[in-house]
């Protein structure tokens, strides 16, 4: 016969609590995933994520970057959009990327991140959805020419 001491009682309760929270988070994740799938129902062509951000370990969902569905696709959509037509400011768009990425680490890998931090949005150079980000395959000449493209002083 086991005797339930206060110590074991505490252990049991905490184990139960942990199990419950685990279950709950799993269920919310499942719900999120369901929501993400519902995006793909309409966005079959432009919704597919194929790059490194699509790797299963990251488990990135549409709403992680684009925000909750809200009233979309009806009027008054509050979704985050990226690219040249985005209503968000460059800083707002960058902020979304920085929820996962560390600006210091980015600056160490590529110094040009630091000098454009509040001037450009990440999406003005990087592309997440395609299989390869155009910025990752630049050689030194292409890298230089990318700078020249914007910084060229008119004669």
Nearer to another protein, 3 or 154 (CB): 154
C-alpha to C-alpha distance for 82 and 93, rounded to whole angstroms: 7
Find the shortest distance in angstroms from Cβ 110 to another protein: 12
Q: What's the chain's length in residues?
A: 155
Find the shortest distance in angstroms from Cβ 62 to another protein: 27
Nearer to another protein, 37 or 143 (CB): 143
Contact 122, 90 (CB under 8 A): no
Nearer to another protein, 78 or 114 (CB): 114
- DSSP one-letter string for 68-113: --TTTTSSS------STT-SS-HHHHHHHHTTTS-HHHHHHH-THH
Find the shortest distance in angstroms from Cβ 114 to another protein: 4
Binding site for another protein (CB under 8 A): 103-104, 107, 111, 114-115, 117-118, 140-141, 143-145, 147-148, 151-153
């Amino acid at each position: 016969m086991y005797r339930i001491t206060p110590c074991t009682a505490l252990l049991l309760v905490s184990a139960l609590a942990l199990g419950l929270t685990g279950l709950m988070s799993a269920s919310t994740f499942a719900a999120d995933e369901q929501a993400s799938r519902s995006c793909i129902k309409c966005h079959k062509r432009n919704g597919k994520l194929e790059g490194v951000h699509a790797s299963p370990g990251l488990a990135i969902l549409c709403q992680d970057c684009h925000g909750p569905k809200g009233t979309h696709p009806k009027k008054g959509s509050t979704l985050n959009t990226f690219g040249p037509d985005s209503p968000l400011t460059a800083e707002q768009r960058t902020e979304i990327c920085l929820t996962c990425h560390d600006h210091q680490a980015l600056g160490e890998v590529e110094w040009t991140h630091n000098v454009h931090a509040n001037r450009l949005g990440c999406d003005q150079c990087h592309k997440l959805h395609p299989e390869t980000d155009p910025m990752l395959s630049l050689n030194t000449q292409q890298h230089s020419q990318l700078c020249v493209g914007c910084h060229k002083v008119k004669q």
